Amino acid sequence: MAKIQKIKGFADLFADEAGKYTFLENTARAVFSRYGYGELRTPVVEFTELFAKGIGQDTDVVGKEMYTFPDRKGRSLTLRPEATAGVVRAFIESGAYQPGGVYRYFTFGPMFRYERPQKGRMRQFHQINVECFGSPSAFTDAEVLLMLADFLTAVELERLSFEINTLGCPDCRPAYRATLAEFLGKIPDEALCEDCRRRRAANPLRVLDCKVPGCREASAAAPSIQDKACGRCRANFDIVRAALSGAGLAYVLNPRLVRGLDYYQGTTFEVVSGDIGSQSSVAGGGRYDGLIRTLGGPDAPGVGFACGMERLALLLAGRPAEKPDFHIAVLDPAGLAAALSLAQQLRAAGFSGLCDHEAGSMKSRLRAADRSGARQCLIIGGDELATGTVVVKSLATGEQTTVPMERAASALGK
């Protein structure tokens, strides 16, 4: 019978790799909670209309990348390609909003996009998302960026660059979009990739974000939105920049930074790494003041970001996996029950470890202990059973000592 294999672009995460995701999630919980954010879990499946309205019909995500299918009642459902729209939907549906209130959420989980799988980009991928609703202040933009920086520092990532831009607002962006479309319309078709030839009419800002060298060269002289922003957008962006500088967070102005989703306006940002190749963005986000209203909710502002966990995990490649504290090796079958009882006592005391359920020779049991990666091996043989003791052996140095069984926890704590 032929083996059933996993779907292309999907991955199995065993303990060593899954441990990196757990570390990222636990660190995010610790950091974000210090800023007053609470955890929210939303469904992985939503009605397709949510993403079509929220992300934008002309985006690559909606146009080409979503996993969409009918249910048994003929309704169109989609596996979530990003988290923000679902968090907004949950926020609206909860009825929590009160004018003047500020609501802070973070969430983790899998997202789904039909893309060509490559390093750091999978068809099922995982994100850490942060969303703040209710505050129109540019200082909130700055605080969200500083919180992201705190999180990335807490997971000990290096060689990261924070890039920021402003995308304008509904008052000033339409004029800029028209100016940009006029500029792009003068570029010969052959100078642009197929996607950018389509984008320059439907979504011209996305041309600025294209990574194809020819497109970047052809659009190098494109007008900058920073030059076209209205007074309010410039003032808000100045506040963000001053707050980041005041907090000691270095950043780079990137006038080509537009992000790939239509709901962004005002402050936008990305964090890029120099260590993971072409898929260099590890986090990104910005302000999306009109999204909640677009999805049928109150006219509440919003700002947030997402971190790609696959890419963060690549940067944690050198991080050692968590190893057990002990491995109990049983040499005499009569010691199996005592070994299990001791293992339970040690686990109750806060240690992690493994216990043999079959007896064997000293050589075979020490080999199994080495494979487990445990710090110390606790050996129970016939002599130990007779005297109520256990041998505690360091698997790193080979040093060993014999202690009463009731003192095994103290010996492990050394």
Residue 87 near residue 129, CB atoms below 8 Å: yes
Specify the pLDDT at position 41. Answer: 97
Specify the pLDDT at position 332. Answer: 95
Structural domains of the chain sorted by starting position, each given as residue range(s) with its CATH number in brackets: 15-172+229-315 (3.30.930.10), 326-412 (3.40.50.800)
70-77 own/partner pairs: CB under 8 Å, 24+ apart: 75/47, 76/47, 76/48, 76/49, 77/45, 77/46, 77/47, 77/48
Nearest alpha-carbon partner for 142 in 238, 49, 277: 238
Helix (H) or strand (E) holding 334: none
Euclidean distance between CA atoms 361 and 366, whole angstroms: 9
> Within 303-393, where are the H helices?
309-315, 336-348, 362-372, 382-387
- What is the per-residue DSSP string for 220-277? TTPPPHHHH--HHHHHHHHHHHHHHHHTT---EE-TT---S-TT--SEEEEEEESSST
Q: Which residues have C-beta within 8 Å of that of residue 349, sequence separation ≥ 6?
A: 409
Handedness of CA 171, 173, 176, 182 (dihedral sign): negative
Give the full edge-to-edge strand order of the sheet including 353-355: 353-355, 326-330, 376-380, 389-394, 400-404
Cα 390 from chain centroid (whole Å): 44
Residue 32 near residue 53, CB atoms below 8 Å: no
Specify the pLDDT at position 293. Answer: 93
Specify the pLDDT at position 414. Answer: 55
Specify the pLDDT at position 186. Answer: 86
Q: Which residue reads 């950091």 in tokens?
A: 31
Phi first, then psi, for residue 379 (nearest 5°) are -105, 130
DSSP state of 402: E
> Within 166-224, where are the H helices?
173-185, 194-202, 213-218
Mean pLDDT, the chain cut into blocks of 10 residues (414 residues total): 91 91 96 98 96 81 90 96 96 95 97 88 95 97 98 92 92 86 86 85 82 86 84 94 97 85 86 76 93 94 96 83 91 96 96 95 95 94 95 94 94 80
